[in-house]
């Protein structure tokens, strides 16, 4: 499942950051993606929640260090819906 989730996440990042050439991987983070500031983060989280029909708790988001950890959390939330 992670491959398709990662592909969808890639598209969300490209849309939120308005950069069709943006490429992310599991190690990508706010320090490695240009323009990933607090406002972009809010838009990113909102887009992910809407696309995948999941909700993040604030405490969960504060602990994430990179895209890989976000992806793992998303997978757990998606699985728990089934």
Domains in the chain, CATH or no CATH each = 2-81 (1.10.1200.10)
C-alpha distance from residue 63 to each of 14, 22, 47, 58 (Å): 23, 24, 19, 9
pLDDT at 20: 97
pLDDT at 1: 54
Segment-wise mean pLDDT, segments of 10 residues, the chain, 82 residues: 86 97 96 94 96 93 93 93 76
């Amino acid at each position: 499942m992670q491959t398709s989730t990662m592909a969808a996440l890639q598209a969300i990042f490209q849309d939120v950051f308005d950069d069709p050439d943006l490429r992310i991987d599991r190690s990508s983070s706010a320090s490695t993606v240009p323009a990933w500031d607090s406002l972009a983060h809010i838009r990113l989280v909102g887009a992910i929640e809407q696309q995948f029909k999941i909700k993040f708790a604030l405490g969960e988001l504060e602990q994430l260090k990179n895209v890989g950890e976000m992806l793992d959390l998303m997978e757990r939330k998606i699985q728990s819906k089934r």
